[in-house]
Structure 1
Amino acid sequence: MSSFDHQHLTRDINNALRPFRQSQSGTMQAFAQLAQASMAEGAISAKHKELIALAIGVTQRCSGCIGFHTKALQKLGATRLELEEMLGIAVYMGGGPALMYAAETLDAWDKLTAATLQA
């Protein structure tokens, strides 16, 4: 299980990238535009796109991706059951390592849910 919390991880990543956003503003603006265009509602809903993004994050073993996309899914109204079904597919496609990151994702979901309820 992860030894960190994803709420602080995502905050720390954003803070660490602040100088990079300034020194590489064109690159970061382009990345933000790519993200916005890719995740916009279309033939596939924004929620389903976030589920896909999180599945990729799990199979690529990206803890930061898990934090950012889990939080986005909660804002979009995803349910834990939707998350668990997606994680089942991620484990199927990614094997044992994906299973370890599925556990991390479930932990992130629970902690981010608790943080939201306390706010």
Structure 2
Amino acid sequence: MTKSYKQINQDQQAMGSAYKKASTETMSAFIALHQAALKEGALSVKHKELMATAIGIAARCDGCIAAHVAAALRAGATRQELVETIDVAVLMGGGPSVIYGAQALAAVDELAQ
């Protein structure tokens, strides 16, 4: 099974926009939370996106992997930093994280192009 993480991001943006129209207050609050949690602070945006990537892997969330790998790359994360992030997710999430970690590496390679 081949996934396109670019397509997952595009699809999620479209579905997220539709959901925001249906539930403006909830989505606006979630977007504000997202912005507050991921802003530059004592931890860099890059490090926060790496953490979000690891959690997305452990939670087995394709949309989370696609979004946070792309954001980590935009924030300057290297392929090796993402590989080590996947390693930590595997440590914490066991066998299922191996599967999603391998898929996250495919996302890194696709989205880094």
TM-score scaled to structure 2, two decimals? 0.95
1:77-105 Cα deviation digits (max 9, x unpaired): 10011111111111011011001111001
**Match of 1:65?**
64
After TM superposition, list the pairs within 5 Å mapping 1:6-25 onto structure 2. Answer: 6-25=5-24
TM-score scaled to structure 1, two decimals? 0.91
After TM superposition, list the pairs within 5 Å mapping 1:1-119 onto structure 2. Answer: 2-114=1-113
Aligned length: 113
The percentage of counterpart residues that share the same residue type is 42
- Consecutive unaligned residues in structure 2, runs of 5 or more: none
1:47-86 Cα deviation digits (max 9, x unpaired): 1100111100000000000000010011011001111111
Instruction: Measure, in 1, the Cα distance between the counterparts of 2:35 and 2:87.
Output: 27
Instruction: Measure, in 1, the Cα distance between the counterparts of 2:87 and 2:28.
Output: 34
- Flag the structure with more relative contact order, 1 or 2, with Cα contacts below 8 A and sequence separation at least 6: 1
- Consecutive unaligned residues in structure 1, runs of 5 or more: 115-119
3-state SS in 2 of match to 1:43? coil
Runs of 4+ that moved beyond 2 A: none
1:58 alignment partner AA: I
How far residue 40 of structure 1 moved from its aligned partner, in angstroms, is: 0.6
RMSD of aligned alpha carbons: 1.0
How far residue 5 of structure 1 moved from its aligned partner, in angstroms, is: 0.3
How far residue 18 of structure 1 moved from its aligned partner, in angstroms, is: 2.2
1:14-72 Cα deviation digits (max 9, x unpaired): 11222211121111110000000000111111111001111000000000000000100
